[in-house]
């Protein structure tokens, strides 16, 4: 497979436009496009196994689901164990 690299003209013209000040936004966009394409054409992030990333994400979601379940159980226990009591000092003041 032949890879076609992004043209350096995007970088040169982008730098020129960004330095002129008047067309700074399009220049920054062109520089960003060049960096993104150059990065992706060179293989992106090397050494990252996408299956491992998906596994970590799924483990994180499972753990968050467990935390949510635990918080719901705590709320249920707190609501069932709520007691309406009055301090002894308040009782003495009412007498």
Q: Across the chain, what does the average pLDDT equal? A: 79
Q: How confident is the model at residue 29 (pLDDT cuts 50, 70, 90)?
A: very high
pLDDT at 60: 87
> Is the sign of the CA dihedral 23, 24, 27, 33 positive or negative?
negative
How does pLDDT run across 30-41, given as a tens digit for each residue? 999 988 888 877
Q: Give the whole-angstrom CA distance, residue 48 versus residue 82.
A: 50
**Of all helices (H) and strands (E), which one includes residue 70?**
helix 50-80
> CB-based contacts of 33: which residues, under 8 Å, 6+ apart?
6, 10, 14
């Amino acid at each position: 497979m032949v890879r076609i690299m992004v043209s350096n003209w995007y970088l040169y013209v982008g730098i020129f436009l960004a330095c002129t000040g008047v067309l700074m936004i399009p220049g920054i966009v062109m520089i960003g496009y060049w960096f993104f394409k150059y990065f992706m054409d060179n293989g992106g992030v090397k050494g990252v196994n996408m299956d491992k990333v998906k596994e970590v994400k799924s483990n994180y979601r499972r753990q968050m689901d467990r935390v949510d379940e635990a918080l719901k159980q705590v709320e249920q226990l707190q609501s069932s164990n709520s007691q309406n009591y009055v301090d002894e000092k308040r009782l003495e003041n009412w007498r």
